[in-house]
Amino acid sequence: MRDIAVRYGFLVLFAALVAYFASTADGFVSPQSAVFIFQSVAITGILALGVTATLVVGGFDLSIGSVATSAMMAAAYVMVVLDQNALVAVLVCLAIGVLIGLINGFLIVYMRVPDLLATLGMMFLLLGLQRIPTEGRSIAAGMTMPDGSVAPGKFSAAFLALGRHRFDFFAPNLVPVSVVVLVVLAVAIWFFLEYTRFGRMMYAVGSNERAAELAGAPVKAYKIWAYVISGIFASIGGILLAARLGRGDIASGNNLLLDAVAAALIGFAVLGASKPNAFGTAVGALFVGVLLQGLTMMNAPYYTQDFVKGAVLVVALVFTFALSTRAKR
Amino acid sequence: MAAEAVFRIADLKKSFGPIQVLGGVSLDLHPGEVTVLMGANGAGKSTLVKVISGVHSRDGGAMTLGAADFAPKTPAEAIRAGVVTVHQNINDGVVAALDVGTNLTLDRLSGKGQPLLFNPRRVQREARAVAERMGLDIDLSASIGDLTLADRQMVAIARAMAHEPKVLILDEPTSSLSSAEANRLFALVDRLKSHGVAILYISHRMSDIRRLADRIVSLRDGQIVGTFDKKPLDYEGAVNAMLGRKVHQSAFAANVGGKTIFTADNLVIAEDAKPISLSLGDGEIVAITGLVGVGKTALAETLFGLRSPLGGSMTLNGRGYNPRTPTEAINAGAFLVAKDRSESGIVGAFNIYENMSLPFLKRISAFGVLRRRAERAIARRQIGELGIVCRSEKDEMSTLSGGNQQKVMVARWMAQPSSLFMLDEPFQGVDIAARRDIAAKLRASAAGRATLIFVTEIDEAVETADRILVMSEHTVVGEHKNERLDMDRLLAEVAGQTARGAA
């Protein structure tokens, strides 16, 4: 009984929440509303899936939010200032994600800096670094450069389509690119973690590093890979953010880190996993999205949002650590 | 030596729950004398030390210090009364963030009547006094982190001695020291002895014991089973008493190994250790035995690629074998069931079949994707083969008994054929039935590989192996066929008396 409660409790809560909003908020049950929820959580969800990979190997990545905003600024800089096309911008962003993941992994594995501290340092460093090329200004087409000239380029149409194009699905022009990317990445990382030997070994590294090493796993490589995955996912989030905003806004993305980490931690409670898992992370992100969308439709003020997210996180953590038998070891 | 005992323990008892750890220990310590306490793992040594040092309370019996009753409720109380303990883990004794001077006077920082403010100059002055009395030649402003282990230990002991204790307990103080460092410690012990301190010295190292002991006391299963104080000391008798002479002769005919599978030639696994040469044959089970800390695990780790030998060479299946990582060792066909399963074997988040498949995921996946059906089939087969008691292969490891957990660890590595199968302390924390099952399985499946088990308990070796090698001081000192075993010679070798035993 208790097992069932722990296993399905969170999903039941999720279903009840949906049912409640469906009955009280007009228009909650509609393709548009569903898509809006998905869209609202797409970027945090992608970041959360990335941080899940680092949680699986027993680490943590606090730099994801600033990797995402750095990627966003880089994309804007490449297109607006350097006047390059969309493909170059995307590749530069992905390269940034890989590079930062490698640096994080190197600091943690070879320099033995504790994961939280290494990625906290990286977060700080990136927050500063992304402002240096433009001397602290946001990047938009036609902006004035520090030397007085006008930036030559603009966001390319192809790039903006990443944020604005919608695919026909059920209804015409319904599903935005970001939601498709979220779903594809969620399925990919879920399959990777659950069904490949690499994912299995990453869980082993996270649970008992010494045992994994003695079983012949290259533990260091697995750990570094986890941070690279996290960096790539965060930079993809940053690309979508830049495409959605259409500018490189130094003030955006403040909440990304906390929201993403919350989603990943809420994911621990889903299906009584008591461990980081991709399915749980996706559900966790959606749960927050549904709750905020429902509350917004019921006219709850915007400033209650963080409170609600925090409350959900605390409840989920209680599910994970107090009620689960697995956690008691 | 005839001096009156300064510290007496009489009929000391201690239980944890239903398990009695100390069943009436009586022990006298005399001033100016080093009493060595020997005991195998789980004999109750640490419990005894903890009761004396005030960490645990006693359940029964009495302790007297001088003429007064001694019943410390906290470690601080024991120290104030004059019974000082230096614990095994050196870094527990010093604070790495502080300098030597502060460490030497650390215990004066708290307690009643101490000044509120920290006065560095007063601390340095007091520290200098402490250091001078002990003849400690270390820069007082140096950071502990920059000192060698031996120096850190000297600091811990010097601080302990600042209380001018009547009784000093040293719990395996040389376990992480080199022999040169150990010599400095011995000089210090001699010095304390001449000051009339009664010393209880706990150690497994025969070289230490030979160097220091005035008297040896053997502890087994929570009871003193032998006291040896007649010169020359009967080291062999002490080891014998400590291990217990309940060893039975083997119930099977010892196999002679077939074609050679593994050889080690002049392998050196520790500095200043004599080289090891050995050869293992097909179908043969060889046990390596010896006291704790003689290098059994170091040898296992060398053979499994976890550490590189300081010299010598190895061959496996006739080819040169020089693994740099466990991965290379596994690929070459050398498997190790590591000791201490909860630390280095079991993945807590995984169930039985996931634990079993861990080293061989590559062999049961196609293009990186696990074939879960095959994985579970292998696990079910292994559960049947080793008689693991569980509901299904999906059970969590935490639901299994210690013996069954160990069977899973053995099953993990037996799921694939190996050339060299090593098990380090495979019977630790395993009940007798599971131990028999594992040993029987090892013997039944021995053909086609060489099997090497590392055990401290001699009877485990006798029960399982065809051949028994004895290790002492990081080298192999004796070899026995497990038939009509010369137990006296074997025990003498365990006790480190090779010269007399072999010559």
A175-225 confidence digits (pLDDT tens): 899 999 999 999 999 999 999 999 999 999 999 999 999 999 999 999 999
- Considering only the beta carbons, identify the residue of A203, A208, A275 that sits closest to B346: A208
Q: How far apart are CA B21 and CA B49, in angstroms?
A: 12
Q: What is the pLDDT of residues B134-145, one digit of tens each?
A: 777 778 788 887
Residue A328 binned pLDDT confidence (cut-offs 50, 70, 90): very low
Decide if pLDDT at B204 tops 80: no
CB within 8 Å of A249: residues ≥ 6 apart:
A72, A138
Tell me the chain A residues in contact with residue B350 when contact means C-beta distances shorter than 8 Å: 203-204, 207
- Residue A71 pLDDT exceeds 90: yes
pLDDT of amino acid B41: 67
ipTM: 0.86
Token digits for A14?
A: 């999720």
Give pLDDT, residue B266.
Answer: 94
Rounded mean pLDDT, A89-116: 96
Packing angle between helix A115-129 and helix A64-76, nearest 10 degrees? 20
Contact flag A211-B358 (C-beta cutoff 8 Å) = yes
Please state the domain extents for chain A: 2-323
Position B1 scores a pLDDT of 45
Facing residue for B362 by CB, picked from A197, A213, A214: A197
Cβ contacts of A206 on chain B, cutoff 8 Å = 349
Strand residues in B351-442 grouped as ranges (E): 365-366, 369-370, 420-424
Residues of chain A contacting B345 with CB distance shorter than 8 Å: 208, 211, 214
Contact B346 A211 (CB under 8 A): yes
> CB-CB: which of B331, B348, B361 is closest to A201?
B361
Q: Given an 8 Å threshold on Cβ–Cβ distance, is B343 in contact with A210?
A: yes
**The pLDDT of residue B376 is above 80:** yes
* A61: nearest Cα among A243, A296, A223, A238: A223
Tell me the pLDDT tens digit for each residue of B410-430: 999 999 999 999 999 998 877
Query: Is B370 in contact with A212 (Cβ distance < 8 A)?
Result: no
Q: Which of B306, B327, B354 sits opposite A200 (nearest CB)?
A: B354
Task: Answer whether A216 sits within 8 Å of B349, measured CB to CB.
Answer: no
Query: Average pLDDT of chain B?
Result: 85
Interval B77-117: pLDDT, tens: 888 888 888 877 666 677 777 888 888 777 766 666 666 67
Residues 206-265 in A contacting B (C-alpha not used; CB under 8 Å): 206-208, 210-218
- Which tokens belong to A79? 């297109």
Q: Is A196 within 8 Å of B370 when comparing Cβ atoms?
A: yes
**Helix crossing, A219-245 with A177-195: angle to 10°?**
170
Instruction: State the pLDDT at residue A56.
Output: 96
Fold of the domain spanning A2-323: ABC transporter involved in vitamin B12 uptake, BtuC (1.10.3470)
Residues of chain A positioned with their CB less than 8 A from the CB of B362: 197
Nearest CA in chain B to A191: B369
Contact state of B369 with A196 under an 8 Å Cβ cutoff: yes
What pLDDT was estimated at residue B502?
38
Chain A positions touching B336 (Cβ under 8 A) are 214
How near does any CA of chain A get to the CA of B54, in Å?
A: 30
Nearest alpha carbon to residue B88 among B149, B21, B143, B161: B149
Beta carbons of B338 and A216 less than 8 Å apart: no
Cα–Cα dist B430/B353, whole Å: 20
Question: pLDDT: is A304 or B496 the higher one?
Answer: A304
pLDDT at B250: 54
Structure tokens at B133: 């009395």
Instruction: Point out the residue among A196, A207, A217 whose CB comes nearest to the CB of B348.
Output: A207
Distance of alpha carbon B430 from alpha carbon B420, whole angstroms: 23
| pLDDT per residue as tens digits for the range B305-361 | 999 999 999 999 999 999 999 999 999 999 999 988 888 999 988 999 999 999 999
CA distance A224 to A309: 30
Contact at 8 Å (CB) between B90 and B148?
Answer: no
Q: For residue B176, what pLDDT is reported? A: 66
Q: Which residues of B touch A (CB under 8 A)?
A: 304, 306, 325-327, 329-331, 336, 338, 343-350, 354, 358-359, 361-362, 365, 368-370, 372, 396, 398, 412
Q: What angle do the packed helices A278-297 and A256-266 form, to 10 degrees?
A: 120
Q: State whether residue A16 sits within 8 Å of chain B by CB.
A: no
Interval B252-270 mean pLDDT: 87
CA-nearest of B473, B469, B477 to B499 is B477
Closest alpha carbon within chain A to B304:
A214
Whole-angstrom distance, CA of residue A238 vs CA of residue A257: 12
In whole angstroms, give the CA distance from residue A270 to residue B297.
42
Measure the CA–CA gap between A244 and A160, rounded to whole angstroms: 7
| CB nearest A218 (choices: B327, B329, B347) | B327
Tell me which chain A residues have a C-beta less than 8 angstroms from the C-beta of B327.
Answer: 216-218
Is the pLDDT confidence value at B501 over 70?
Answer: no
Q: How far is A200 from chain B (nearest CA, A)?
A: 8
Task: Work out the average pLDDT over B190-205.
Answer: 86
CB distance B365–A197 less than 8 Å? yes
How many interface pairs between A and B have CB atoms less than 8 angstroms apart? 73
Contact between B347 and A200 using a beta-carbon 8 Å cutoff: no
Contact A216 B359 (CB under 8 A): yes
